[in-house]
Amino acid sequence: MLEYIKKQWISKIRTLVFIIVGFMVGNFVLSCGISISVETITRQRDMTAGDPYGQALIFLEPNSKASPKEIGSFCEGLNEYGEIQITNADSVKVNKLQKEYPLYPILISQPEDWHIPICEGRYFEPNDMDNNKQIILGREIARKLNVHEYDKITIDGAKYQILGICGRKNRKTCWDDLVCISWGLFIQRYPSMLCKNSVSLHLKSGKDKMIANYKEDKKIANELGLKYSYQDLAKTQDGVEENTNSITITIISSVLVFVVVIINITNLMIYWVLDRQKDLAVFKALGASNQYLTKCVVVEVAVMTIIGFVIALAIQFLFDLLFHPIFYAWGIYMDVTAANVIICLMVTMGCGILSSIAPSRIVMRIQPAESIKE
């Protein structure tokens, strides 16, 4: 039977190509839709720095009697709610570039669901907070310095090892020009930055718990000479719903195109079986069961779907590789990720099995005597 299928594929190459191209087009459209949706979701998460409904901006305005040590201790107390980032620290000088870049102190006590994206190396962990020898560098600064993970650079006259490089590989982000440091290093080298007119803290999670304890924390802040207030970030995220709608429309459009392709492929598969009706009738006359012939049809379809799937992802990968600068300029992202491979393979195999149902039913209804006579 395998030898027969091989000969049929060679002799009916045109029909075979049409079927494989159909699966390829369906997979290509679906995979591009997945890439666009994944990128949109990633962009949305980047814009909101994770889940906006658990975040808040905290403002501390110290008076003349507030000391850096007391302000630092109060910030460390707020860290029990979630990760803390100082968003308005001063700039620091990267010696080799002779240029200043924004400093971004980070304080974490436990891993978060989302953190600043890292394109090389790793992000800070709780046990890194007392480390005063490692930093995370923005992607654009790293590019200008031509440095990578574990390399050393000089900032404000002191040498540090690069723990990670933050940003996205495929596009610009707001983290490309940052110098992220641990809380321990910040308190050791730059405590005076806490005595500015206003200190802005980004609370990455635990907003509800922070609000529940707000009055108590405010009382403590007042005793330390701090004016304490906050802003709920969930109320500033107007574009989140629009992005969600965009993702939904993209997914629906991709699925609809795939469904249309599968309907056309099913018709081609019916023709593929009817064109071999006499041959299949002979196999039945020689003792081949309906189960065996149906299994052969399903295996044929499965092989065609996998070939179409591989070609589609290979084309998308090559397109992204060859035309990435053009796509990047137009804001088009066609990265092939694990999500593309897993989802496309699952969908195409499922649709392949569905498209083999009609041909299999025809195979089961073939009557050897009548078909051979015709």
Structure letter (DSSP) for residue 12: T
Strands 134-138, 158-166: pairing kind = parallel
Q: Are 336 and 32 in contact (CB under 8 A)?
A: no
User: What average pLDDT does this structure show over 215-230?
Assistant: 91
Q: Which two structure tokens, joined as six digits, stand for 289?
A: 């069961």
Residues 6+ apart with CB under 8 A from 325: none
* Helical ranges in the chain per DSSP H: 2-11, 13-48, 68-78, 139-145, 183-189, 207-212, 214-224, 240-274, 277-285, 290-330, 338-355, 357-365, 368-373
User: What average pLDDT does this structure show over 117-130?
Assistant: 91
3-state secondary structure of 329: helix
Q: Which two structure tokens, joined as six digits, stand for 23?
A: 């699966």
Dist. CA 210–CA 206, nearest whole Å: 6
Lowest mean pLDDT among 116-125, 174-183, 254-263, 364-373: 364-373
Dist. CA 108–CA 134, nearest whole Å: 15
Instruction: Using the structure block, give the residue that is written with the tokens 């308190």.
Output: 187
- Residue 62 pLDDT exceeds 60: yes
Cβ burial, residue 289 (10 Å; 0-12/13-18/19+): exposed
Q: Is 3 left (phi over 0), alpha (psi -120 to 50) or beta?
A: alpha
Strands 56-62, 134-138: pairing kind = unpaired
User: Using one digit for the tens of pLDDT, what is the confidence trace for 165-205?
Assistant: 999 887 888 999 999 999 999 999 998 888 877 889 999 98
Dist. CA 176–CA 138, nearest whole Å: 4
Q: Are 269 and 359 in contact (CB under 8 A)?
A: yes
b/e string for 250-259 if b means 16 or more Cβ within 10 A?
beeebeebbe
3-state secondary structure of 205: coil
**Quick one: which H or E segment has residue 350?**
helix 338-355
Lowest mean pLDDT among 239-253, 255-269, 319-333: 239-253
Q: Which two structure tokens, joined as six digits, stand for 268?
A: 């081609």
What's the pLDDT band for 1 if we cut at 50, 70, 90? Answer: low
- Residue 244 pLDDT exceeds 70: no
User: Using one digit for the tens of pLDDT, what is the confidence trace for 291-301?
Assistant: 887 888 888 88
3-state secondary structure of 276: coil
Q: What is the pLDDT of residue 166?
A: 95
| pLDDT higher at 249 or 320 | 320
Residues 6+ apart with CB under 8 A from 143: none
What is the average pLDDT score of the chain? 84
Dist. CA 332–CA 320, nearest whole Å: 10
Give the residue among 159, 186, 51 at the shortest CA–CA distance from 115.
Answer: 51
